Every structure is written in C-alpha cells, then in structure tokens.
Structure 1
C-alpha cells in the first residue's frame, strides 16, 4: 500500500527536509517513525525539500508498506512516535504510481514579515523581523509583474540545479494584518531553489524605499540573479499546502 502523508512542522531545529549526513532533518525523523511503526526499513519520498529553518503546514510525503492498518489511522500512530514539532495532519492511501514530486501540482507559499519598531518574541520563530516601515500597497503592485509564465532566472539561487528556469505564478498578493505582520502569498505550479525568499527580499527593497517602482519588472526581464534583491531569511517562509 502506498500512503500519502500531509506533514506540518516547525523547521527551526532542523537542517531542512532532506536526509543529510551533517544534521538532523525532517525526513530523517519521519523515516525513523515510519520504520519503527512497521518494523522495516522504510524511506519516505517528499514533495518539497524545504531548507533549514523553513516551516510547513502542508508538505507531502509518501511511503510503501505491507500493512492491514487503515491508511487514515496511520497518522495517529506516527504522531505518537514523532517529536512535537513534526505532526502528521492526514494519512491516506493513494495509487501505487503516485509520486509527490512528479505529479502536477499547485504549490502555495507564504513569506511573513513582522514589520514594527520592536521585535515581538512570540512572532520571532515564524516571521522575519524588519523594523523600517514597509509600503505594502507598493509591494503588492510591484509583485503583480511576476504573475504568469516567466523565466525566473533573476529570482533563483545560483545553486539551482534545473534544466529550465521557466515557472508559472498563478497569483501573488502582499497584505498587512492588525498585528503588523505582512504576508506575501504566492501560488504557482512550482518554484525554483530560494525563489520565494528572493522575491520577498526584492519586495522588501521596494517597500523600504531602497529601490524605485518598476524594480521587480526590470529584475525579472534581466534574467540575471544579480539584478534582484537578497535572499530573505528562512524563518519567514511557510509552505502552506500542495494541491494535486
């Protein structure tokens, strides 16, 4: 049986999603829990390999197991074996050929900025603190240049390993709530390495007055990583969900 897991986690204490030799990761903890539950060496396959310090409400993983346990009960059993900062939100059976990375998806990310004079410690783990007042209306207007199918070379890490930098952003918005948290909400068919964090860093430059209106469009058309802004810190990034 192939089982699909919807996984939420606080990424603060982990070296990202993917198993690696030099640090504890989300996938490592998940593999240990699944293997312990079924008494076999089982490796999970993840949909999105989030970076160190990045959080998720709805990352997706699958694994195969020879079991009679109802798929929807597996979440309960795994949560008893996982640390409190990794929680399975749902478990379900899927077709044997379902692959979380290769299936057609819509991914939803949010980047959150705490934009006030002083840091609030209750927000510190899940937002990027920026004290200079940001112009949210301008940031939202600038962000619309990114909607559609584009070559996002300017908004991808130079470490990106891909055959194509073309991606489609379906929608993007920038809003502020009454706690002075600014949320950059972006949906697309897939994202390049560090793409959302570079978009956030670029919009912060515009919103803080360090770049003029039109900067985002110019950076996009340059097809050059040096034309855009810095990569915003990981703690503000949240993988909200992956739709199949």
Structure 2
C-alpha cells in the first residue's frame, strides 16, 4: 500500500480547524471526502500540525496510504478536482517510504503571523491579517520576544484546554520585521520550533502586540513567562493573522 505526502494550502476562514469534526467543516474532512471519491472507503490522513478554527495553511504537510498506485501528479490533480469549490489546494505531492510520518518525522514547524497597523478599514486583506489601529514599536516587541527564546515552561502561553503532556518546549526563533505592501506597512512574526502548545503562537503575538503598543514593557514578557500562570498572558490574538507556513524534515519529501 503506497504512502503519499501532500503539501496543502488552505484558507482557514470557513473551517473549524484542520481536524475532522462530525458536525463542522474541517480541512481534514474536506480532503478525506475527496479521497473517498477516488477510492471508496474511509480515509484517515495525518498532518504535521492541527491548526485551529480560522488559521490558514501556506504549506501544511499530510500523508495518506492508498490502495491504488497513483502518480503524484495524477493524484494531486484528481484531489484538487474533487476538493472544489472549497478553498483548499494540494500544491505538491510525492511518494514516500512507509516510515515517513507527517507529524512524527517533522523536525521543525514554522508559523507566520501578519499584523497590519492602519486606521482605514480592510478590504482586500480582510480575514488575512490582524488589523490594529495604532503603530507598534518593533524594537520593543523584538526585545520582549528575546525572553521567549530557548527551552522554557510555557504554561503562561498555553491554552487551558491544551492536551500536551508537558508545558516545556524549545522556541528556536521569533523574529519580527516589517514588509512594505500595497495595503500599508505590514508587521510579520516568524516563529519556529519543533512543536508548539495549543494557542502558544497566538498567545505570544497577543502579548507582544501589547508591548508594541506601549501597554506592556519588554521586561513584562520575561515576568509573564516566569509566572507560569495563564492569567499573566496578554490577550490572545485572533486566528486570521496566523499561517502554518512550512514544515521541515531531515530530507524534504518533495525533493
């Protein structure tokens, strides 16, 4: 039974997250329904990460075992045909050994968060970025972010419903930079780690936005981290500015 790996792009707005749900639309359920059109029966795809309701995917990675031998091109074309009109696309596909696992073989996950500080209402970027009305101090935000790097107990930045066995994670990178766009000067956060706690990235962003606005000082991020108390976290940012950007493996399955 061959195993196929899929690179998946999706707009998270109409879905209640990646994970299949009985009563709500999901990205996983959408792809599995398309697979059932190709091969009858129940399909269960495994993904590198379970994004929440409203979170987007630039290059989510998932794998699936199928009975039939498909060329990767034909499989991706067939899936994209049956996925329509849902905002999900298979942007790459490859055959991998059965030892490959989209989740457990991953070495690093990269998330991108987009913030657009502007007063005017959003039109073309609505639902794609987090709009804030005031300018943000990037230097202060980056100073605050520096306290989060490395291995820590991230209880403060962990959802109360997080199912991870331990709050201890290692944050490899949290870079904040500006990008000039047609819609204004956009702030982006590049966040990387092997794995994340539930709502960890959005909790980081919400706290750092408060630092950028002047409501908190950079040192307050360190104090919040050391408190190991969810109440010390700033407001959690909305999901629509967050993207699962890429997943890294020892060898790229798409090479």
TM tier relative to shorter chain: over 0.9
CA contact (8 A) 1:114 1:123 kept: no
Give matches, 1:215-230, under 5 Å: 215-230=220-235
Give matches, 1:3-14, under 5 Å: 3-14=4-15
TM superposition outliers: structure 1 runs of 4+ over 6 Å: none
TM-score, L = length of structure 2: 0.92
- How many residues end up aligned between the 2 structures? 244
CA contact (8 A) 1:110 1:184 kept: yes
Q: Which of 231, 237, 240 in structure 2 is aligned with 1:235?
A: 240
> Structure 1 residues 111-120 or 187-196, which shifts more?
111-120
* CA distance in 1: counterparts of 2:229 and 2:175, whole angstroms: 24
Q: Which residue of 1 aligns with 2:253?
A: none
Q: Which of 171, 191, 195 in structure 2 is aligned with 1:186?
A: 191
Alpha-carbon distance, 1:31 to partner: 0.2
Alpha-carbon distance, 1:98 to partner: 2.0
Q: Which residue of 2 aligns with 1:114?
A: 116
Alpha-carbon distance, 1:119 to partner: 2.4
Alpha-carbon distance, 1:118 to partner: 1.5
Say whether 1:30 aligns with 2:50.
Answer: no
Q: Which residue of 2 aligns with 1:135?
A: 137
Structure 2 vs 1, CA of residues 72 and 166 (structure 1 numbering), >3 Å: closer, same or farther?
Answer: farther
> Structure 1 residues 226-235 or 75-84, which shifts more?
75-84
Give matches, 1:23-172, under 5 Å: 23-84=24-85, 85-172=87-174
CA contact (8 A) 2:144 2:217 kept: no
Q: Which residue of 2 aligns with 1:17?
A: 18
Say whether 1:203 aligns with 2:208.
Answer: yes
Aligned-pair RMSD on alpha carbons? 1.2
CA contact (8 A) 1:12 1:54 kept: yes
